Structure 1
């Protein structure tokens, strides 16, 4: 069939549609006698293709990204660090009562769904897998299903990134989800639908661009370095040395040379006498050379450099993953920055997806919204929290009974009242830990005894 022959389709991605966006009904294949008539037809009817489908290169890229997760320690270290940090952030549901009033909701199906999204998968594990899909493949998808056996009446089911693609229109806007199944043909789901999904930027389409493609050269360099080091340890001598044989020594026969090589190989690699000292003959000398000295190959430095490059690609301070040395003070500062400058935009994007896609499905027509409780990750130590709260309230904030329960001590009668020291007054000292100067006295009067 000539490539300029057209064939209409009715309801498949890649269907032929006219200038107004209406699908052209299926017709028998029509051949144009020459390219000029084909051009005239296209100019008159304005036929365009919504999406050409999924190129085979996308499947190859997906498989390559999966192999990187399995074989690249630097990628797994950084990606797992980010995924664990994001997956353990609790999601809270609030009701917008007014512009100045918000009320947290805990008994609505939306809140119950977020606290237990999948019957057989813990919430943190579900979101960990979703976020790893996002960081590795630059796209993720979760299906929203009704489930009468759950407290919320709903269920979230992850669609692995290797089994989903986002099909776009001419403006690179998501138009369909292409879901691959091992139990039957692929499904083409029009959007919007009962799915939560997101994707990164792509030069063509809306399927995202895997960071593994961007870091391909760095990761390939690391792979070659690891392979070279393995070859050195497998084949090379345990010391960087060569054997010198005097020029005046008797000429070696082929048999004598092979015998000596076989004997010396026993002291190399995994030979039977590895680690021992070979017996040299004919005045031979074992001379140490400085070329390819294992110390000079900077193995540890090379690994740290790859860790730092991957961490920088994901906008994470390298100190947090051990790629650079850090102190207690700057590590604490980096930890605070992690949930604001580093992964703060990622949290916002996840939050936007939940509010724009999940809320209309589970809680339509309500004033509910979802917010990540990032403050739970930014809390300091117990001592820091106690000092801050005491200063902020200007008085003790904890009952004695509550303090006893923190230490797992039994309840004692008379300890469920808040004790306020006498030196703490409303409008007086800001905190029990503060001190105040003595009150000023009128001129001529001394301090009372």
Structure 2
């Protein structure tokens, strides 16, 4: 308050006025266009507000980000591609038996919860919504609740990004979750608590910075281009000409003028005459003029450029979303890179949140940990897998009963043993795909030259 007292004083009527006699609130309304500008001014001036809560400007940014998801095809295309790729990765639970031994765990409540997070909610749908929150708003949150309706006894419930904010201390470390509910007042939950959450970098606080704010200029250009195209098609055919009427033509009567305008509007509008030939009279002629044409605006190139920029912003190859043309070879390479270099860091961050926040709740003091089964997304075709595994093991790796089950054939007794061909021996051939060695010759006979 010392900052304001230096420049203001109390009016006898109780109002706060400045040295010129102007009410402070009125003057502030003139200087700051919105709450975001006022907040930036206070921060730059070093003014600290005790327990500021959530600034109203955050709600404005949240609503704007939601509108971008609904109205910008490029953003939705790229974000949905990433979310679908990540949400379909299965989570596996392992027990660290020793430094060289790991055991897959499937019956622990942690594994059961990841396989069935909530009644009537599939794992992929839950994580898809969470990842979209993350990519659009740069923050996400899941509440961990006891439940009698799941086999694990627990439930994962997503808190939409529009209803949650991360409040930080003076060091920008998360201190509270600010949860907004339609059934009552907002709740300020101290951390740590029964929640899974993450947030990106923010210049002030820990609420993250929506990528929509960074891309707003580029997306605004795309919105203007879409508006222009819609206007062109809505108004019908547009030709770069003007109608010239001779200067010595007789004056138009109101009836003749209205008749001509009605006919010309039918020509450019959406009636049955649209796209026809306008009827000119009194020596009129169509004179061409220099004007922009839709083809001159490079409409398709502009849309591809926006797709490319958004894909690059989210660190994925534009070829994967059709923004640039690719071939089979580089698309297969980009698919392999997607789960390593592109979204690999995102997978690691999700995995870290689960291991540091969820595992201590369901398995405190245990040696359990959760790992994303990325290999499930990188597997090749069945033919490629068979060739690689056969070469790696040096022998057949599947019994006949397993092969029959792959083809949905009934089980036959006696098919549980692994069949090893005679030309594949331990210490002999390295792989069953190798050719057989030449037969040995009798003693005393050398190899032919």
TM-score band by shorter chain is 0.7 to 0.9
Question: Which residue of the partner structure matches residue 110 of structure 1?
Answer: 110
Decide whether the 8 Å contact of 1:50 with 1:170 is kept in 2. no
What is the total number of aligned residue pairs between the two structures?
407
TM-score, normalised to structure 2, is 0.85
Rounded to whole Å, the distance in 1 between the matches of 2:168 and 2:442 is 82
Question: Which residue of the partner structure matches residue 184 of structure 1?
Answer: 184
Decide whether the 8 Å contact of 1:164 with 1:180 is kept in 2. yes
Rounded to whole Å, the distance in 2 between the matches of 1:392 and 1:290 is 69
Shift of 1:327: 0.4
Question: Which residue of the partner structure matches residue 446 of structure 1?
Answer: 446
**2:426 counterpart SS class:** coil
TM-score, normalised to structure 1, is 0.85
Rounded to whole Å, the distance in 2 between the matches of 1:52 and 1:443 is 96
Rounded to whole Å, the distance in 2 between the matches of 1:192 and 1:126 is 22
Q: What CA deviation, in whole Å up to 9, does each residue of 1:261-299 have, x standing for no partner?
A: 221110213134213333232344445666322222222
Question: Which residue of the partner structure matches residue 123 of structure 2?
Answer: 123
C-alpha RMSD of matched pairs (Å): 2.4
Shift of 1:242: 3.8
Question: Which residue of the partner structure matches residue 197 of structure 1?
Answer: 197
Question: Which residue of the partner structure matches residue 420 of structure 2?
Answer: 420
**1:296 counterpart SS class:** helix
Indicate whether 1:365 and 2:365 are aligned.
yes
**2:165 counterpart SS class:** strand
Q: Which moved more, 1:383-392 or 1:414-423?
A: 414-423
Change (3 A) 1:446 1:286: farther
Equivalent residue runs for 1:2-151 within 5 Å:
51-151=51-151
Equivalent residue runs for 1:277-356 within 5 Å:
277-286=277-286, 291-356=291-356
Q: Which moved more, 1:341-350 or 1:400-409?
A: 400-409
Rounded to whole Å, the distance in 2 between the matches of 1:101 and 1:243 is 85
Decide whether the 8 Å contact of 1:50 with 1:169 is kept in 2. no
**2:143 counterpart SS class:** strand
**2:294 counterpart SS class:** coil
Rounded to whole Å, the distance in 1 between the matches of 2:214 and 2:74 is 15
Rounded to whole Å, the distance in 2 between the matches of 1:241 and 1:406 is 69
Shift of 1:435: 1.8
Decide whether the 8 Å contact of 1:51 with 1:168 is kept in 2. no
Question: Which residue of the partner structure matches residue 430 of structure 2?
Answer: 430
Change (3 A) 1:104 1:245: same
Decide whether the 8 Å contact of 2:236 with 2:270 is kept in 1. no
Rounded to whole Å, the distance in 2 between the matches of 1:403 and 1:254 is 88
Question: Which residue of the partner structure matches residue 377 of structure 2?
Answer: 377
Q: What CA deviation, in whole Å up to 9, does each residue of 1:43-99 have, x standing for no partner?
A: xxxx97664221111010001011111111111111111111111110000011111
Shift of 1:445: 2.4
**1:390 counterpart SS class:** helix
Question: Which residue of the partner structure matches residue 164 of structure 2?
Answer: 164
Shift of 1:415: 2.9
Rounded to whole Å, the distance in 1 between the matches of 2:96 and 2:213 is 43
Decide whether the 8 Å contact of 1:200 with 1:209 is kept in 2. yes
Rounded to whole Å, the distance in 2 between the matches of 1:121 and 1:447 is 71
Question: Which residue of the partner structure matches residue 33 of structure 2?
Answer: none
Decide whether the 8 Å contact of 1:93 with 1:369 is kept in 2. yes
**1:258 counterpart SS class:** helix
Decide whether the 8 Å contact of 2:137 with 2:208 is kept in 1. yes
Question: Which residue of the partner structure matches residue 174 of structure 1?
Answer: 174
**1:414 counterpart SS class:** coil
Rounded to whole Å, the distance in 2 between the matches of 1:264 and 1:360 is 74
Rounded to whole Å, the distance in 1 between the matches of 2:187 and 2:134 is 21
Rounded to whole Å, the distance in 2 between the matches of 1:403 and 1:305 is 48
**1:259 counterpart SS class:** helix
Question: Which residue of the partner structure matches residue 23 of structure 1?
Answer: none
Rounded to whole Å, the distance in 2 between the matches of 1:285 and 1:388 is 75
Q: What CA deviation, in whole Å up to 9, does each residue of 1:97-139 have, x standing for no partner?
A: 1111111100001010100011121111111111111000000
Indicate whether 1:264 and 2:269 are aligned.
no
**2:310 counterpart SS class:** helix
Decide whether the 8 Å contact of 2:423 with 2:436 is kept in 1. no
Decide whether the 8 Å contact of 2:144 with 2:196 is kept in 1. yes
Shift of 1:377: 0.3
**1:104 counterpart SS class:** strand
Greater share of helix: 2
Decide whether the 8 Å contact of 1:238 with 1:275 is kept in 2. no
**1:267 counterpart SS class:** helix
**1:158 counterpart SS class:** strand
Shift of 1:316: 1.0
Rounded to whole Å, the distance in 1 between the matches of 2:160 and 2:99 is 39
Decide whether the 8 Å contact of 1:51 with 1:167 is kept in 2. no
Indicate whether 1:227 and 2:224 are aligned.
no
Gapped regions of structure 2 (runs ≥ 5): 6-46
Question: Which residue of the partner structure matches residue 393 of structure 1?
Answer: 393
Shift of 1:234: 1.8
Question: Which residue of the partner structure matches residue 405 of structure 1?
Answer: 405
**1:94 counterpart SS class:** strand
Gapped regions of structure 1 (runs ≥ 5): 6-46
Rounded to whole Å, the distance in 1 between the matches of 2:281 and 2:128 is 63
